[in-house]
Amino acid sequence: MSKKQEMATRRQFIRQTGCCLCALAWPARADVPLFEARYYEKLPHRKIRCSLCPRRCVIDDLERGYCGVRENRGGVYYSLVYGQVVSAHIDPIEKKPLFHFLPSARAFSIATAGCNVFCKFCQNWEISQSRPEQIPATFLPPPQVVRLAKDKSCPVIAYTYNEPVIFTEYMYDIAVQGRSLGVRSVMISNGYIEPQPMRDLCKVLHAVKIDLKAFSERFYKELVSGQLRPVLDTLVLLREENMWTEIVYLVIPGQNDDRKELTGMCRWIAAELGPEVPVHFTRFHPMYRLANVPATPLATLTMARKIGLDAGLHYVYTGNLPGDEGENTYCPNCHKQVIHRFGYTILENRIQNGRCPDCRALLAGVWE
């Protein structure tokens, strides 16, 4: 099943998260108060400069930034998506994918409209490339999100499906609320964010998954409408902040599957981030503006995984390949299998207190 199919419609969302929603009289979008954005500076003539992401958009009065969800009104910058949830679902944490963070945990996953890049291969383009007024949304203030997560026995809230950088204020406030009630927060992101907002988020988040979309500026320019360098900077920052981080690399045939590029990336990760950062090489399926590109051959994913292991990375996975041996976790010391997966399902987890049950080696991750 594709991500698109798995995402809940608003109706499904209300049905699934249901019981308490009916009792809450949520206002329609027009009645929701505007929320002033946190990262911007005022310029002359009612202009502003956004300082949330590396684009640093300069925005005239009545205009929006590249993300389409932050608007200048009279020289004050507002988030139009604070509390405006367009999709919600309960997913296994493995779907994010986070393989070394609370295995099997249920993640209460939410999204708003908008994104700060324009990937030609986006799986969720219907929401990520839309403006807030183009999609029905449900107003969920942070306390309600946390309460829903707890009511549904979800120890984790995931900010996912679209790019959470663009709703950073909302994510931050939920994460603060969640911390006080024992619910952890994970950010599923492209890493295209300025250092200060990322550092602020590191104070309240528990894990981050970064989509490293390629290891070339050409790819980022042509297929993402962004830049690689700021994403690498974010990864280094996450390392400095000791944030648990996993990396996903969607392998697209003919675009970012060059052996040299993959080798360069894996070596960079090993050297700059350390060998214990899990890297997931996932299979591309024809999508959005790359509908004419074939799915990734299995051999390419196997090759990518081998390149990662040869570069000294300890945890290298294949993704979107249910049943492949590359889905499992192996002890980097004795090489025995410690977690057996099939797709997003864990068939066996042998890890004991964060250690290999056979050789007692410590396994990197957040296991409890």
- Looking from the CA of 128 toward its CB, the CA atoms found within 13 Å total 24
CB of 225 to other proteins, least distance (A): 7
Residue 337 touching other proteins (CB under 8 A):
no
Q: Quick one: which of 8, 13, 17, 65 contacts other proteins (CB under 8 A)?
A: 65
Pick the stretch among 127-135, 163-171, 297-305, 333-341 that binds other proteins (CB under 8 A): 127-135
Residue 162 touching other proteins (CB under 8 A):
no
Nearest Cα neighbor of 232 from 218, 219, 253, 247 is 247
CB of 128 to other proteins, least distance (A): 10
Nearer to other proteins, 74 or 182 (CB): 74
Residue 289 touching other proteins (CB under 8 A):
yes
Q: Quick one: which of 35, 118, 344, 367 contacts other proteins (CB under 8 A)?
A: 118
CB of 129 to other proteins, least distance (A): 6
Q: Quick one: which of 123, 225, 302, 333 contacts other proteins (CB under 8 A)?
A: 225
**CA separation for the pair 270, 299 (Å, rounded):** 23
Show the tokens assigned to 311.
Answer: 């570069």
**CA separation for the pair 75, 85 (Å, rounded):** 26
Nearer to other proteins, 225 or 333 (CB): 225
Q: Quick one: which of 68, 142, 308, 319 contacts other proteins (CB under 8 A)?
A: 68
Residues 112, 166 contacting (CB under 8 angstroms): yes
- Looking from the CA of 68 toward its CB, the CA atoms found within 13 Å total 18
DSSP class per residue in 145-173? HHHHHHHTT-SEEEE-SS-GGGGHHHHHH
Nearer to other proteins, 133 or 217 (CB): 133
CB of 210 to other proteins, least distance (A): 22
Pick the stretch among 129-137, 258-266, 273-281, 356-364 that binds other proteins (CB under 8 A): 129-137
Going residue by residue from 243 to 282, which x/- string records binding to other proteins, judged by CB under 8 A? ----------------------------------------
Nearer to other proteins, 24 or 28 (CB): 28
Nearer to other proteins, 11 or 45 (CB): 45
Residue indicated by tokens 């499992």:
328
Residue 60 touching other proteins (CB under 8 A):
yes
Show the tokens assigned to 257.
Answer: 């599957």
Nearer to other proteins, 80 or 88 (CB): 80
Nearest Cα neighbor of 122 from 35, 211, 59 is 211
DSSP H helices in the chain: 3-6, 10-17, 125-128, 142-151, 168-180, 195-202, 217-219, 229-240, 259-268, 298-310
Nearer to other proteins, 75 or 264 (CB): 75
Residues 152, 8 contacting (CB under 8 angstroms): no
Residue 62 touching other proteins (CB under 8 A):
yes
Q: Quick one: which of 288, 303, 355, 361 contacts other proteins (CB under 8 A)?
A: 288
Residues 337, 329 contacting (CB under 8 angstroms): yes
Residues 339, 350 contacting (CB under 8 angstroms): yes
Nearest Cα neighbor of 211 from 161, 171, 154, 176 is 161
Residues 294, 283 contacting (CB under 8 angstroms): no
Return residues touching other proteins (CB under 8 A).
45-47, 57-58, 60-68, 118, 120, 125, 129-131, 133-134, 225, 288-289
